[in-house]
Chains A and B, each alone.
Chain A
Amino acid sequence: MYKTSTISIYVTLTIALAAACAVSLFAGAVHIPLNEMLSSDIVRLRIARIILGIVAGAGLSVSGVIFQALLRNPLAEPYILGVSSGAGLGAALAVILGITAISTWMLPAMAFVGAVATIFLVYAIARSSNGIVPVYTLLLSGTVISAAMGSILMFIISRSSSEQLHNVMWWLLGNLQILDWELLRVVSFIVAACIAVTIFLAHNLNVITLGQEPAAHLGLNVELTKKLFFLIASLMAGATVASCGLIGFVGLIVPHTVRLIVGPDHRKLVPAAALAGAAFLIIADSFARSVIAPTEIPIGVITAFLGGPFFLILLKRKKHFSWS
């Protein structure tokens, strides 16, 4: 099993990522001749989009890998504990209260606060009196909080004007448009730092998939490790949601797809998922911009539309998709 050498996988994925970036630079409503490339504002915008695509794709994928390992659940993904509904609520509040006029930072900041606050709430509810956080309680508490946040979000949407509604919906559907380089820098820093820590500590994730008690018997400090990785995965999910809205499916299918190729060893899986996620999201964004140009399709539509069938084919062909 997993005979393909790790180096060749990394090289292939890096080439794929570079190719995706190159395609993305030329894709879009406006055609730009090569000699005007350097001076064009549109190119600057596209570069920002590409960077955000790399950051969000890698962040969501690695976040998905972490949640799947911690929860020992194949359905786990970055939004499973309610990050999405919390961020959505934060963003909607920012739009409705009109504070988006104060600064372009308000919406992402509110979304980020909403996302992180939700995780803390979910975690606090699931935590038992002796400080242990059982996985199933966590999943249940995530589902319930998610539903509650979702209902408040629906209420806010139902009370908003059509212009506000459009703003909220557009954000919820997800897109990689970014106008603020400073925001891009902050989000990139958060995600890069989180991925670096995850790669450094990846061997701990392997052991934790055996279950909490077996992991403890192998000498792992389970509660500390769990807390740290929940924090990392939530920060990445929160930062990406805050900067580009909800982009579903990436954090679910990229980890599974990459695991089918490199196997479940997180020391290989995490870097490979980061590269693959980045490439996948940039390709999806190129489609989003060019399929019915000049109109842009929400990227979440593309990720599900492209990712779903691709994943199904893999699932049918590979018998090693064996979570048990």
Chain B
Amino acid sequence: MISVENIDAGYGGDMIIKNISMDIEEGQFAGLVGPNGSGKTTLLRVISAMLKPAAGKVLLNGKKIHSIKKRELARIMAVLPQDSNLPLPFTVRQITLMGRFPYLTKTGRETKTDFEIAEEAMQMADVAHLADRVVTELSGGERQRTLIAMCIAQQPKILLLDEPTSHLDIGHQLSVFNLIKKLNRQANMTVIAVLHDLNLAAEYCHRIMVIDNGLITASGRPEEVLTSEIIKKVFHANVMTVTNPTSQKPHIILTAKADQ
């Protein structure tokens, strides 16, 4: 579905990612992990056509992604905003309806179908009961789910996420990830997520790519990639991996240094 071919990209001459290539198949839940500053967000920005690469190309179903019209791309690919700070007191329904923006005609008015799709999206993201509430009064988790409802209303084939739960508590983290998993499974949405939490990545991703210093250093199923050796090498952190007894996925355990 998406193939990244020999991408160099960065800001103002400094290449943050170098010669990255990868393929993401339809229906996959792919995770990008790596230390701060390793280039995972930059890679995501290249894939979302926000940043033009200095070299290489990104193909979406064989078409160069940077040459696809913005409006057309928005119907195929949704990007969950990283900053869930919404300054204006829109209602949850109004925000969700903004997901229909790439489908609006010149008049800029939503049709009955748009309203129906937004209702469904709110149901799916479990914010239908908040439909008439103002987003500025919601909790961080509710706001994040509202923005996911907006992305669902876009009816995309691909969903890109950049640390979607970095400031949420553990309950909201799970509810957001379960929702994304549901979209991945039921709506067959391809998901590409930049993730900080390795355990969440292990639980939810089909495939994980470890990015270090602008290069992909490992790529594969969670149990292949999230080994204590690789994590030690990339993150310079002492960890141990065990197997999660319920999911059989790797689980990373921190090992604190003994008193010095």
List B residues at the A interface (Cβ < 8 Å): 48, 50, 70-75, 77-79, 81, 83, 85-91, 94, 98-99, 101-102, 104, 108-109, 132-134, 136-137, 154
Interface residue A226 (Cβ < 8 Å from any Cβ of B): no
A217 pairs with B74, CB closer than 8 A? yes
Q: With A72-B87, A213-B81, A264-B90 as known contacts, state yes or no: A207 contacts B101, CB within 8 Å.
A: yes
A86: min CB distance to chain B, Å? 27
From the candidates A202, A211, A218, A259, name the one contacting B74 in the complex (CB within 8 A): A218
What are the interface flags for A198-236 relative to B under an 8 Å C-beta threshold, 1 for contact and 0 otherwise?
Answer: 001111101101110110111111000000000000000
A207 to B79, CA, bound (A): 14
Q: Judging by beta carbons under 8 Å apart, are B90 and A218 in contact?
A: no
Contact A221–B70 (Cβ < 8 Å): yes
Select one of A1, A210, A218, A322 contacting B154, CB under 8 A.
A218
Q: Give chain B nearest CB distance to A230 CB in angstroms.
A: 18
Contacts of B104 on A, CB cut-off 8 Å? 203
Q: Report Cα–Cα, A210/B86, bound state, in Å.
A: 6
CB distance from A256 to the nearest CB of B (A): 11
In contact, B81 and A210 (Cβ under 8 angstroms): yes
We find that the number of chain A residues with CB closer than 8 angstroms to chain B is: 34
Is A1 a contact of B91 with CB atoms below 8 Å?
A: yes
Would you call the interface of chain A mostly helix, strand, loop, or mixed?
A: loop
A257 to B81, CA, bound (A): 29
Report A-chain residues with C-beta under 8 Å of the C-beta of B75. Answer: 219
Chain B neighbourhood of A72, CB < 8 A: 87-88
CB pair B133 A204 closer than 8 Å: no
A2: Cβ under 8 A from any B Cβ: yes
A289 within 8 A of B: no
Q: Is the CB of B88 within 8 A of A207?
A: no
Nearest Cβ on chain A to B52's Cβ, whole angstroms: 10
**Contacts A202-B108, A213-B50: A219 and B90 contacting too (C-beta < 8 A)?**
no
Q: When the two chains form their complex, are residues B87 and A263 in contact, meaning their CB atoms are under 8 A apart?
A: no
Residues of A within 8 A of B91 (CB): 1-2, 263
B99, closest chain A residue (CB): A218
- B175 to A: closest C-beta gap in Å: 22
Which residue of B74, B77, B109 has the most chain A CB atoms within 10 A of its CB atom?
Answer: B74
CB of A267 within 8 Å of the partner chain: yes
- Which residue of A207, A267, A322 contacts B89 across the interface (Cβ within 8 Å)? A322
In the complex, A221→B127 CA distance in Å?
29
A323 touches B98 (CB 8 A): no
Q: Which residues of A contact B132 (CB under 8 A)?
A: 1
Task: Give the residues in chain B near A213, CB-CB below 8 Å.
Answer: 50, 79, 81
B101: which A residues are within 8 A, CB to CB? Answer: 203, 207, 218-220
Cβ of A73 to closest chain B Cβ, rounded Å: 8
Within the complex, the shortest CB–CB distance from A260 to chain B, in Å, comes to: 9
A166 within 8 A of B: no
Task: Chain B residues near A4: list those with CB within 8 A.
Answer: none
Are B70 and A216 in contact, CB atoms less than 8 angstroms apart? yes
Cβ of A324 within 8 Å of any chain B Cβ, yes or no, is yes
Give every chain A residue within 8 A of B98 (Cβ-Cβ).
Answer: 206-207, 210, 218
Report A212 CB to chain B, min CB distance, Å: 10
A265 sits at the interface (CB 8 A): yes
User: Is A320 an interface residue when CB atoms closer than 8 A count as contact?
Assistant: yes
Q: List residues of chain A with CB within 8 A of the CB of B83.
A: 211, 214
